[in-house]
Amino acid sequence: MANQEALIAEYSMLRQEILQVLQKQMQFIGAALAVASVFIVYGFQAQNSLIFLAAIIILLAAMYFGADSLRHIIGVNPLDQTSVQVKLCCSESGPPQIR
Q: What is the tens place of the pLDDT at every residue in 59-97?
A: 888 888 877 777 767 765 555 554 444 444 454 555 555
- Sign of the Cα torsion 72, 74, 78, 80 reads positive
The answer, as to whether pTM is greater than 0.75, is: no
Strand partners, 98: 88
What total of structural domains would you count in the chain?
Answer: 1
> With contact defined as beta carbons under 8 Å apart, do 32 and 54 qualify?
no
Structural domain boundaries enclosing 16 = 2-98
Put residue 47 in one of left, alpha, beta given phi > 0 → left and psi -120 to 50 → alpha.
left
